[in-house]
Amino acid sequence: MKKFLLPSFFAFALLLGGCMNTENVEPKPIVEPKWPVLISRDSISSGGHLGLSINEEAASAYTKLQQLRPKGIEYANIVGNISSNLSQLNGRLKLYTYLLLDEQIGTETGVQITLKSGSVSSIYLNSGRYLDQWPLKKNASSSVRLGDNADVVYQKLIKISGDKSYANKFERISLLTKDLATGFDPIMAASPQWYFRYQPESGISEDVQINLEKGKVKYLIISRYKD
C-alpha cells in the first residue's frame, strides 16, 4: 500500500500547483482622504451676516435661521444644552433631532437617540452598536423603540430613569441638534453658541458660529472651506 500512496500524493500536489493562480497581484494604492481647505475666517462684531444681526435677541435670531432653510440649512447645533433634570425634556424633545443620555464622564454605553419628524429614527450606543430599542430586553412600555414619538419617549424615559440599572444614564442629558422646522426653545437662549454648516456655492462650505451672551448675539465667526 505504501508504494501506491506516496506517488499519488505527489501527483495531487502537482495538479494543485498547476491550478493555482501564479499571477502577481499589485497592491491597490492607498488614497488619502481629501480634507476641506480653509480659505478664510472672519469674526463679525458689528453689522451681521445671512440676515443675523449683532445684539439681536436669541428668539429673533432663531427666526432668521428658520428663514435660511431654503439654502439647505435644516439644523443648528446647540452648545451646552445640557441638564441632569429629566423634567426639562417635557415638551422640548420634539423640537430637537438628537438626544444623548450618559453619565457625567462619558461611557461606551451612553445612549444616542435620533429623531426625525418628531419620532425615533435610530438608537445607538456610544460604542457604535445599533439598537432597535433601549434598554434591551425590556417590554414596550419600559423601553424607547424605533418609531416612538417624542412625547411617548419622554414618558418612557421617566419610567426608565426610575430603574437603578439605568439611573446613571440620566446624569448628563444633552439636546444637541435643533430642528429648524420646529419652534423656538427659550432655554437655547442660554447657550453660549449655536453653529451650522451649509454650502453657499458648489465646492464651498461655510461654518457659521453664532456666539451669544445674555440671550443676545454677541459676535459671529464665519469660516469658509474649499471642498
Q: What local confidence, expressed as pLDDT, does residue 34 receive?
A: 76
Q: What local confidence, expressed as pLDDT, does residue 188 receive?
A: 97
First to last CA, the chain: 72
Q: What local confidence, expressed as pLDDT, does residue 157 receive?
A: 98
Identify whether the C-beta of residue 74 lies closer than 8 Å to the C-beta of residue 65: no
**Span of 8-12, 152-156, 205-209, 219-223 with lowest mean pLDDT:** 8-12
| pLDDT tens, residue by residue, 75-119 | 999 999 999 999 999 999 999 999 999 999 999 999 999 999 999
pLDDT, the chain, mean: 90
Q: What local confidence, expressed as pLDDT, does residue 118 receive?
A: 94
pLDDT top residue among 91 and 1: 91
The full 3-state SS of the chain, as one line of letters, equals CHHHHHHHHHHHHHHHHHHCCCCCCCCCCCCCCCCCEEEEEEEECCCEECCEECCCEHHHHHHHHHCCHHHCCCEEEECCCEECCHHHHCCCHHHEEEEEEECCCCCCCCEEEEEECCEEEEEEECCCCEECEECCCCCHHHCEECCCEHHHHHHHHHHHHCCCCCHHHHCEEEEEEEECCCCCCHHHHHCCEEEEEEEEECCEEEEEEEEEECCEEEEEEEEEEEC
Q: Using the structure block, give the residue that is written with the C-alpha cell 433634570.
A: 85
Q: Is the pLDDT reported for residue 9 higher than 70?
A: no
| pLDDT tens, residue by residue, 12-68 | 444 444 444 445 556 666 666 778 899 999 999 999 999 999 999 999 999 999 999
